[in-house]
């Protein structure tokens, strides 16, 4: 075990050409030559402390916070917020559905005391930029109503970008000149990919700092207790990864505490699906997040036993445990676990489309959808995965229950696009055991006093373009429909 851990740690911080040919992480730990193993060694506390103290000057006078991001840039934030359900002053926007944006804005008590924290490793993430521009427009409208003398200065006080340091100049090119920006990593490097960014970067540490009421001593206690468990966590991850190396069909069941489950689910899904799905060693892969250990059937249970530690420490430990499990398991299977080559497929297709291309998506109701699924299902399908490109939890529950009744022998999964594109598209691209059901919403309410219909329509159109491009690149194993979420049919 020590040899594999040593190989992993030896590759950290080195260029690929500096890593020995005998070290397999030379081949599986770099993304087209880019360093991606910075998550392996937790930064020393002094770096964390300096980073949090540096960010304090931007946020200490703010009372409400809106985090904006997609995929790994926001899933870590949402996992942290599960630690304290009473965070009524901290909001997340990770979807282009305009109802999400409108709903969050309706909850803001005082915009003067609010700051938007936009997160994008590259600074160019499409969804993040669109949502941030919409918020920029809303704050511009507020400034106009208040007859603020300098609107530009007003706006700059209400936005903070977290990006890789090398991406700062890209923000300027995208119209964010002079706006606050800080590096995601506390050491200022850019060697950590999005899905590995928690718990060692500001994506995790900033929301933790906020829910701790900016008490840095509390964060320190949690962080030092967590880092004291590193060897124990790594040992468990190695043993668990080793126990499954002979499995050719990999359906993981990750058992977590109930308090984490809902907001932690997508973070875990992205870590596994994007890291190991559709890679060099092709094998079926699915990830389930449960509250109990499932051993029956084809499930492979993964869990971390940690007693006498707080919820904060347990969440940090669980994240690091799962990341090390993925690294070790990928080592045994010879999988490059830090890249995501197929994600570009739907993005390339999307760039070829025009918004008019998605105007004729067939409308359907739930009962008709069942008939369409039955026609498309093949004997080798084990899962039906629903991707809804809108946010409507009530409808999702209704749809999931209806499908479970009609397909009792199938495993039903339901996710929200376009977040799904960032956590599961990579795995879906080569999947053969899943039918993908892609749904867009028929109608949206685009009336909002702060944001123009044109801006909200841009969000809807982009969402539909993403869904259509996704369908076209998965067409042999996917169906696409428009649905009226208000219908009871």
For 204-255, write each residue's pLDDT tens digit.
999 999 999 999 999 999 999 999 999 999 999 999 999 998 887 788 999 8
List, in order of start, the domains of the chain with CATH numbers. 2-37+229-333 (no CATH), 45-221 (3.40.50.10490), 343-483 (3.40.50)
Q: What is the pLDDT of residues 166-195, one digit of tens each?
A: 999 999 999 999 999 999 999 999 999 999
Please report the pLDDT score of residue 85 as a whole number. 76
Model confidence band, residue 296 (pLDDT cutoffs 50, 70, 90)? low
| Mean pLDDT, the chain, integer | 92
Average pLDDT score over residue span 272-289: 86
Mean pLDDT of 291-305: 75
Q: What is the model's pLDDT at position 382?
A: 93
Categorize the per-residue pLDDT at 489 as very low, low, confident or very high, splitting at 50, 70 and 90: very low
127/284: higher pLDDT? 127
Mean pLDDT of 382-393: 95
Per-residue model confidence as pLDDT tens digits over 427-471: 999 999 999 999 999 888 787 778 889 999 999 999 999 999 999
Residue 211 has a pLDDT of 95
Percentage with pLDDT > 70 across the chain: 96
What was the pLDDT predicted at 219? Answer: 98
* Phi, psi at 175, each rounded to 5°: 95, 20
Q: What is the pLDDT at residue 149?
A: 63
Average pLDDT for residues 467-477, to the nearest whole number?
97
pLDDT tens sequence across 81-122: 989 878 789 999 999 999 999 999 999 999 999 999 999 999
- pLDDT tens figures, 29-45: 999 999 999 999 999 99
Tell me the mean pLDDT in the region 381-393: 95
- Greater confidence (359 vs 26) lies with 26
């Amino acid at each position: 075990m020590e040899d594999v851990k040593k190989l992993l740690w030896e590759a950290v911080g080195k260029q690929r050409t500096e890593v020995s040919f005998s070290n397999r992480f030379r081949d599986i730990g770099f993304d087209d030559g880019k360093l991606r193993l910075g998550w392996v060694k937790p930064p020393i506390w002094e770096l964390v402390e300096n980073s949090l103290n540096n960010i304090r000057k931007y946020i200490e006078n703010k009372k409400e916070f809106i985090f904006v991001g997609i995929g790994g840039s926001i899933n870590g934030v949402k996992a942290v917020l599960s630690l304290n359900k009473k965070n009524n002053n901290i909001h997340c926007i990770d979807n282009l559905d305009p109802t999400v944006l409108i709903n969050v804005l309706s909850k803001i008590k005082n915009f003067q005391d609010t700051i938007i924290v936009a997160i994008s490793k590259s600074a160019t993430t499409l969804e993040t930029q669109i949502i941030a521009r919409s918020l920029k427009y809303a704050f511009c409208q507020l400034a106009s109503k208040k007859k603020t003398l300098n609107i530009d200065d007003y706006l700059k006080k209400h936005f903070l970008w977290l990006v890789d340091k090398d991406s700062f100049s890209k923000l300027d090119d995208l119209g964010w000149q002079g706006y606050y920006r800080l590096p995601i990593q506390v050491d200022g490097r850019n060697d950590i990919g999005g899905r590995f960014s928690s718990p060692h970067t500001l994506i995790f540490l900033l929301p933790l700092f906020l829910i701790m009421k900016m008490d840095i001593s509390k964060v320190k206690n949690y962080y030092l207790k967590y880092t004291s468990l590193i060897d124990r966590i790594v040992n468990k991850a190695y043993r668990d990864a080793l126990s499954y190396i002979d499995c050719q069909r990999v359906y993981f069941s990750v058992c977590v505490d109930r308090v984490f489950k809902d907001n932690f689910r997508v973070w875990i899904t992205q870590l596994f699906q994007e890291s190991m799905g559709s890679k060099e060693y092709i094998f079926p892969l699915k990830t389930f997040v449960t509250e109990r250990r499932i051993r029956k059937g084809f499930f492979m249970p993964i869990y971390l036993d940690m007693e006498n530690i707080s919820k904060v420490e347990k969440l940090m430990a669980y994240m690091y445990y799962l990341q090390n499990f993925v690294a070790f398991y990928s080592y045994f299977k010879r999988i490059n676990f830090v890249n995501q080559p197929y994600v570009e497929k739907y993005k390339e297709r999307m760039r070829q489309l025009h918004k008019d291309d998605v105007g004729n998506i067939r409308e359907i109701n739930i009962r008709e959808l069942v008939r369409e699924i039955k026609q498309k299902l093949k004997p080798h399908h084990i899962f039906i995965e629903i991707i809804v490109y809108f946010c409507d939890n009530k409808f999702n529950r209704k749809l999931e229950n209806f499908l479970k009744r009609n397909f009792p022998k199938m495993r039903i999964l339901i996710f929200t696009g376009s977040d799904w594109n960032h956590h599961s598209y990579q795995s879906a691209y080569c999947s053969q055991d899943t039918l993908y059901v892609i749904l867009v919403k028929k109608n949206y309410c685009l009336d909002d006093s702060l944001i123009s219909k044109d801006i909200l329509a841009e969000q809807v159109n982009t969402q539909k373009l993403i869904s259509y491009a996704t369908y076209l690149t998965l067409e042999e194993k996917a169906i696409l429909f428009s649905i009226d979420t208000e219908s009871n049919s």
